[in-house]
Chain A
Amino acid sequence: MTIFSVYIINKAGSLIYDYDSPSVNRPAVEKTFSYPLELVLKVFDEKVVVSFGERDGIKVGHAILGINGVAAKGRILEDGRDIMETLATEANYPINIKFGKPHLTTNEKIMLASMLHSLFAFGSQLSPEPNSSGIHTLETDTFKLHCHQTMTGVKFVLLTDPKQAHVDAILKKLYEVYSDYALKNPFYSLDMPVRAELFDANLQQVIEQADKLGISNI
């Protein structure tokens, strides 16, 4: 039972909150290289990705997630070094590089959120019966997307393990957190991104408890 991510989309279709669970293990491959690097890398969409040279589980399209244990943040490392420059310098070798599926950037999330917003509407248009609801769940082999739309038009989207149970209760709980810690916070303006630490903390608490104890205890 795992919850991967939470997204909140306002009634206009913009993403106002996103949260990715840190406990989710994203498969990553680590390997130590010597100079020169056999892989062909390129910068794509502010990330350094493998464009040629699949080997040892490193796939084309994988991004560099870290070098020598230092995590990558886009095209630079957390300590400020440029990744491409670091890899081009012979003195830095042998070097340990961590590859994996790239994380979504905020921009990508915003784009996906507005796509989901349209897709949701699409669902109700396709329906042979009038007044059908929008998409509630979207299922794949590896995860399930649950969407709950409130009467005011705010969408709560939850990405979970396909076997996650009691999702409705979690979604309801999240709505309560939103109404308690976003709307009752005097500094939050309606329809704008939620940037309050207390909201983060409470949302994470709901997710963690749902993960650990099962829904009956939250």
Chain B
Amino acid sequence: MSRQGNRAGDPRKVNGELFTLTYGALVAQLIKDYENDEQVNKQLDKMGYNMGVRLIEDYLARANTGRCNDFRETADVIAKVAFKMYLGLTPVVSNWSAAGDEFSLLLESNPLTEFVELPPGHSNLNYSNIMCGILRGALEMVQMDVDVRFVQDTLKGDNITEIRLKFIKRLEDAVPVGED
């Protein structure tokens, strides 16, 4: 056989197109299942949350990162380690609020939306909302209550995709005692 497809590569990585297309099929299914975009957004966030709370353990078990000292460090780790590890890209951290409790992740390309064009009549749909859920779920497991949302999306004609993370509070009750 002369056909040598795009196999090889890191055994831990799945084909990017497979991931993107599967996600697309899922979103399409949700649009069918729910009446309006808000409900779809909510459902995507919820599914992301469920993924995030499990994904964090995979992340911690594999990446050798210690606990972050502050939110700035968290931002760096999310962008440079976590995104790199799971999506193979590194978003830019910017737009810090004066208090240092809010920042944005800027994505020039979003693998989830690679082949996507929003159908008309879905202007409120946050197509990649699952990312917000994943980040929220994962951060909650390391005792940070964070609000995550999309503020810009290339799908909606913006120049860049921007995810805004706002630190709400440290979940003191959940902090394991005797943290290293």
- Residues of chain A touching chain B, judged by Cβ–Cβ distance below 8 Å, are 11, 120-121, 123-125, 131-135, 149-154, 172, 175-176, 178-180, 183-184, 190
Contact = CB atoms under 8 A, between A and B. Distances in A.
B57 to A, nearest CB: 4
B54 interface: yes
A87 B133 CA distance: 62
Given A151-B67, A151-B142, A152-B142, A184 B179 contact: no
B10 to A, nearest CB: 17
B65 to A, nearest CB: 9
22 contacts: A11-B174, A120-B177, A121-B177, A124-B178, A131-B179, A132-B178, A134-B177, A135-B178, A149-B180, A151-B176, A151-B179, A152-B57, A153-B176, A154-B57, A172-B61, A175-B60, A175-B61, A176-B61, A179-B54, A179-B61, A183-B54, A184-B54
Interface in B144-176: 174-176
Interface in B105-155: 141-142
A152 B54 contact: no
A152 B141 contact: yes
Interface residues of B, number: 18
A206 to B, nearest CB: 13
Contact of B178 (A120, A151, A154, A175): A120
B58 to A, nearest CB: 5
Nearest to A118: B177
Contacts of B141: 152
B79 interface: no
B40 interface: no
8 smallest A-B Cβ distances: which pairs?
A134-B178, A124-B178, A153-B176, A121-B177, A179-B57, A179-B61, A183-B54, A175-B61
Nearest to A135: B178
Most buried by B among A123, A131, A150, A175: A150
Contact of B60 (A133, A134, A151): A151
A183 B178 contact: no
B57 A150 contact: yes
Interface in B67-126: 67
